[in-house]
Amino acid sequence: MLIKAKMTAKNSTLLLCYVSIMLITFLSVFGAVYFAQDAIFNSAYGLEKEGKKEQVFSIKHVGPEPTYHKGFTPKFTVTEIELLERIVTAESQGESLEGKIAVVNVILNRVDSENYPGTVEEVIFQRGQFNPTWDGSLERVNDITPKTQEAVGRAIDGQHEVPSDTLFFMNQEIAEDFTVQQTRQYVKTIGNHTFFK
């Protein structure tokens, strides 16, 4: 009986050691993967790291090269404008010029809002806000159409299709979360997007 009790205690100690080692290994691997993914995400989208910005997008414009940010000191960098073009392409494929401008308006309204980050990059890549930043569609944007270029240009030059307090839009046909629709005030619908403040 005494020998059996010693074996059980020894087995319990071994089992505890084994479980501890497995847990430490799992957490180490998970932590490394988590931080690596974060670094890859930030690097892939040119987000700041230790004060250094990288331009990582290579965009093929369909049609003439945009001219709305040449020849004057722009409010936005070329990188920010190209990022706006990419997010508008991913978010509003097939939408009208008015609808594309409204999408840019929402992003720029957030940049100007005290409730959101203060740069185009930070607003677009704020976790959980714009589906294309996490579903892969932003990465797949290769061609920027003249209509998208025009929409971004007009919006950054001050054209508004939605009021400056409009901070949300959604496609109700494909949306899975209706919190915005249930908690925010309706502004207007343009094409497939419904805008809220």
Bridge partners of 168, per DSSP, are 196
Q: Say if pTM beats, i.e. exceeds, 0.75.
A: no
- Per-residue pLDDT of 132-177, as tens digits, reads 988 888 989 988 999 999 999 999 999 999 999 999 998 878 777 7
Closest CA to 138 of 100, 97, 84: 84
143-144/60-61 β-pairing: parallel
- Per-residue pLDDT of 104-129, as tens digits, reads 999 999 999 999 998 999 999 999 89
Q: Which CATH class is domain 60-196?
A: mainly alpha
CA distance 116 to 166: 13
Q: Up-side HSE of residue 112: CA atoms within 13 Å toward CB?
A: 15
